[in-house]
Amino acid sequence: MSHQQLDAASALTALAEDETLFRDSVFEFANREIRPRVRDMDELGKIPRDLIDQLFALGVMGIEVPESYGGGGATFFHSVLAVEALSRVDPSIGVLVDVQNTLVINALVRWGSDDLKRRYLPKLAANTIGAYCLSEAGSGSDAFALTTRATQVGDDFHLTGRKLWITNGNEADLFIVFANLKPEAGYRGITAFLVERGAPGFTVGKKEDKLGIRASSTCELLFEDCAVPKSSVLGEVGKGYKVAIETLNEGRIGIGAQMVGLAQGALDYTIKYVKERKQFGKTIADFQGVQFQIARMATDVETSRLLVYNAARLRDARKPFLTEAAMCKLVSSEAAERVTSLAVNLYGGYGFVKDYPVEKLYRDAKIGQIYEGTSNMQLMTIAKQVMG
């Protein structure tokens, strides 16, 4: 790790003592370095590597990695704050950082052996992007209907199957892959494996052409008798379902943060616009009807933020947070769609063209109700928990 990266990690640790200062410093970076590139990244469908390198130098790619491994040694709540701040400018960058921290690093810190932590945590803090590979063509909401198979061959496991909709697929060099070692045992045969890019039999397939968060890569992964050493099992053999469920519960809070940041960004743009746009001899911000819509947008954003922050703090306090995680994702994703839709309406015809930023945020918002558990799945979780 370079001196620059060590300095960034130290600065991150210092900032973490003041949560507001931490969030604002990440937003200032995003405003300065990311905002000028948002439209080009959306149109090209790609995050430039030099920008990714800046994220590593800033320290936001290894927030919860212990300082002894070169990371920030901060909390889950700080990861949530970083995702929110980045998503206020570009939700594509927000989800890149979210998956890195709340899914990949989180799973490795919790479930990795000492050897796996030594091998991978310094890299994830310094320059290596991770991806979380669970979804398949027939395995979405039914997360454990996996057809990817693992077979034991000597001291190795061989993986064969196909993963779909994998975030960070193009950029990642480390993949957490879920496969079933004993299909006859159902979900109790599922095991999590760490696979490096370039492993024989492993190929990153096509990148999806998406409605929103277009700069974030979403890819197909192909495994054809891909050999993985026994030492690369994450957690225990046959306990991959536990790794998946518990990590995704935390990941939903991260998506909630992404949606809060996205909605706040749309609100920021809209307030500025209505104060400038004139009709009938005065700014449209002077009309009570517009003021009421802004008030609803602001209330949606703050309600969502409080739910996300509450779930994150419960998680850090090691208290039950399953219901709160489902609630924050449900509410924030639906609020983001409402807020961005109102933003487009208040911009009028300008809101419908790509020259103005709310059109992109409207497209970006839709995925919040789909990935890491659809809104219907969150409702099922909430109902099950509150009804006992």
pLDDT band (50, 70, 90) for residue 374: very high
Asked if the model's pLDDT at residue 8 lies above 90, the reply is: no
Architecture label for domain 241-386: Up-down Bundle (1.20)
What pLDDT was estimated at residue 5? Answer: 46
Where along the chain do its domains lie? Answer: 3-128, 132-238, 241-386
Banded model confidence at residue 140, pLDDT cuts 50, 70, 90:
confident
1 band by pLDDT with thresholds 50, 70 and 90: very low
CATH of domain 132-238: 2.40.110.10
Structural contact between residues 74 and 16, judged by C-beta atoms closer than 8 angstroms: yes
pLDDT over 90 at 206, yes or no: yes
pLDDT tens-digit map of 282-325: 999 999 999 999 999 999 999 999 999 999 999 999 999 999 99
Cα separation, 206 vs 203, in Å, equals: 10
Contact 168, 103 (CB under 8 A): no
pLDDT of residue 4: 46
Segment 201-214 mean pLDDT: 98
Q: Which helix (H) or strand (E) holds 109?
A: helix 106-111
Fold adopted by 3-128 = Butyryl-Coa Dehydrogenase, subunit A; domain 1 (1.10.540)
pLDDT at residue number 143: 81
Task: For residue 292, give both structure tokens.
Answer: 């009421």
Spell out a b/e string for 114-135, using b for 16 or more CB atoms within 10 Å of the CB, else e. Answer: eebbebbbbbbbbbbbbbbbbb
Predicted structure pTM score? 0.95
Q: What is the mean pLDDT of residues 93-99?
A: 98
Same-fold call for 3-128 versus 241-386: no
Local confidence band at 144 (pLDDT 50, 70, 90 cut-offs): confident
With contact defined as beta carbons under 8 Å apart, do 174 and 130 qualify?
yes
Catalytic residue among 171, 250, 359, 372: 372
With 60 as the cut, is the pLDDT of residue 16 above it?
no
Query: What was the pLDDT predicted at 10?
Result: 54
pLDDT value at residue 84: 98
pLDDT at 15 over 70: no
Q: In this predicted model, what pLDDT tens digit does every residue of 122-131 receive, in sequence order?
A: 999 999 999 9
372 included as an active-site residue: yes
